[in-house]
Amino acid sequence: MVSALVLIIMAFAWVALQVTPLPSVLFAQPAWQDVAGISPSVSASISLTPGDDWPSALRIALPLGIFVLALLLFDTDDRAVGAVKALAVSGGIVSVLSILQFEIAPGALLFWPKIAYLDSLTGFFVNRNTAATYFGLILLLNLALLLHALGDPGIGFADLRRWWYRDSKWRALGYGLWFSTSLIALMLTKSRAGLLSCLVAITCLLVLRLFRRSKRQRVGRPFSAPRIAPWLKRSLQLVAILLILLFVLQIFGGRTLLRAETQGVGDSRYCVMPGILSAVANQFPWGAGLASFEDVFPGYRDPACGLYGIWSRAHNFYLEGIFTFGLMFVMMAMVAFLMLLRFFWIGLRQRRGLRFGPEIGLSALLLVAIHSAFDFSLQISGMAVIVAVLLAPLVTISLNPPGKSSSA
């Protein structure tokens, strides 16, 4: 909570510095000198869009504030686990509704006409990449809860029979259903980066679970009697799950693979990338202003890339952050990322029954971090709020001492 409040203070302090009128000989943008020749009364500043920066600062304060609020609401294991399950189930329902709407009325976006990405499922979002991030996170949640409900049923007939009479089998079936629907929805988005980042995150989740189980198998085992069967069994399970995912990918993700094969790296975002890098280099370390990208970037755009599309955001969360916020973005991103890594690492070390919490947290953090390097999901305030609401209960589970209202 303290870390989130510190980030909010850092963001508002930097915005205040960027919009403060400065003598042109200091850190003000050189472009203000040309403006002064037309209107001498204009005050120079670091930001090129000082009038729009304060409203845009709310885009940073909103998810951080929601994160703090969620930490206060989900302060025990019972509440945090309940929030995670609610997000998983509601996300599964959203995936079902999105698939039905895409099949029945592909030209509609909720109750309005759909004007973009007509050949892709976008759910309740406008952009398919944002939808891919959302469905990928829901897929991770339901997969982790599915594996948690399954426990370790074993591979023998007697083991499976004993497991079938457990109450957890119904929860496992439910989470398996939501996992399947969210996976299908993810495939139908046709987002290449979203699909790749989700596969990496799933692999991370399975590896963390495999390591947890193999470590538990070694506890209390005599050194003189080593056994490799448990490790081998878990490895085979990991390979089997990944093969199933690849098989499903081949069936339902055919259009995504075809898009990746036909377009390759011929995407417009790669054409404009040199211009974005040049803009970042020119505006570092002070930044061009939090709301400046749409106004400033056209001056760096290569005419050879064509006139198609209005680039209101960069397809890279990190480059746009450095372009608009300069060195402060690097500091804030590092603080946020390292603190979340520390929280989830603590959870991996101290939680047992609820260890799926930090496992989801690390995997979700990896998914968002990878996808943000290719698309602008986190620049969408709605998606940023969803990520904040998801991470907050996972942080609570990770940092709470074992036994505090545990609902394992």
d(CA 177, CA 142): 9
Q: What is the DSSP string of 194-262?
A: HHHHHHHHHHHHHHHHHHHHHHHHHTT--TTS---HHHHHHHHHHHHHHHHHHHHHHHH-HHHHHHHHH
Amino acid, res. 129: N
- What the block records as the tokens of 322 is 């450095």
In a domain, 286, yes or no: no
Q: How many domains does the chain have?
A: 1
Residues 227-276: tens digit of each pLDDT: 445 556 566 666 666 666 666 555 545 554 454 444 444 566 677 788 88
In-domain check, residue 390: yes
Q: Give the model's pLDDT for residue 407.
A: 44
User: Is residue 312 a part of any domain in this protein?
Assistant: yes
Whether 190 is covered by a domain: the verdict is: yes
Give the range of the structural domain holding residue 234, as residue numbers without chain letter. 2-217+229-280+291-399
- What is the DSSP-derived secondary structure letter of residue 218? H
Is 376 part of any domain?
Answer: yes
pLDDT at 154: 46
**Residue 405, in any domain of the structure:** no
Is 407 part of a structural domain of the chain?
no
Q: Does residue 404 fall inside a structural domain?
A: no
Q: Which residues of the chain have pLDDT under 50?
A: 153-160, 165, 214-228, 252, 256-257, 259-265, 406-408
What's the confidence (pLDDT) of residue 248? 57
The alpha carbon of residue 297 and the mean position of all alpha carbons in its chain are separated, in whole angstroms, by 25
